[in-house]
Chain A
């Protein structure tokens, strides 16, 4: 089974802090994605990556950046956390040969 692991289940940070959310997948997938999930809005794509050192903006990239130095790891960075970034963050991956996404269990981030 594909395993997508997010390093933290719950995270509490203060406004202005730099925040790193880590995601690791064990299936040698080329493509990795970061979504945030908010009630009534569903999953919204923040950033994605097709390969190592490659990144593409999703629908809501403002306030975020990403890093993909190794194929298995995709990091989401909040340079200066704000209260409106309080959300559930979901990482996902997929191979280059299929469309199906495999999701991690999510990180619930609270910015106070």
Chain B
């Protein structure tokens, strides 16, 4: 997605917290997805935000600000298995457009 911007890489320590930011174009916006993709595997759904605010789902939370065109995914109590690529995607005109993804590396 040309209109989706997220950092390329992030590194954190096991047990720590990491926040992955995502910005998008607000025109025609309907919702914001986060997917997780382990190397060589299919992307799997993490969250979908339509309304402003924070949605918590276990160790993972997702935040949306529609007026600012901004979202973040918060990963708490990081585990080694959280090492993966995290994809931000906006839902617009019945289609999902993806960012390039953020590769998170969790170190012991």
Contact of A99 among B1, B31, B97, B100 (CB under 8 A): B31
Residues of B participating in the A interface, judged by any CB pair closer than 8 Å: 1, 4, 8, 30-31, 33, 40-45, 48, 87, 89, 91, 95-101
Bound: A105/B40 CA distance, A: 8
Count A-B pairs with CB separation below 8 Å: 50
Contacts A4-B42, A99-B48, A106-B40 supplied; 6 other A-B pairs, CB < 8 Å: A45-B95, A45-B97, A90-B42, A99-B96, A100-B33, A106-B41
Is A43 within 8 A of B87, CB to CB? yes
Is A48 in the interface zone, CB < 8 Å from B?
yes
Interface class of chain B by DSSP? strand
On chain A, which size bracket covers the interface? 20 to 34
Bound: A103/B45 CA distance, A: 9
Which residues of A have CB within 8 Å of B48?
99-100
Is B43 within 8 A of A103, CB to CB? yes
Bound: A29/B24 CA distance, A: 28
Is B42 within 8 A of A42, CB to CB? no
3 closest Cβ contacts across the A-B interface?
A: A42-B100, A43-B98, A103-B42
Is B31 within 8 A of A40, CB to CB? no
Which residues of A have CB within 8 Å of B98?
35, 42-44
Closest chain B residue to A40 by CB distance?
A: B100
Which residues of B have CB within 8 Å of A48?
95
Bound: A104/B4 CA distance, A: 23
Bound: A17/B72 CA distance, A: 43
Is A61 in the interface zone, CB < 8 Å from B?
no
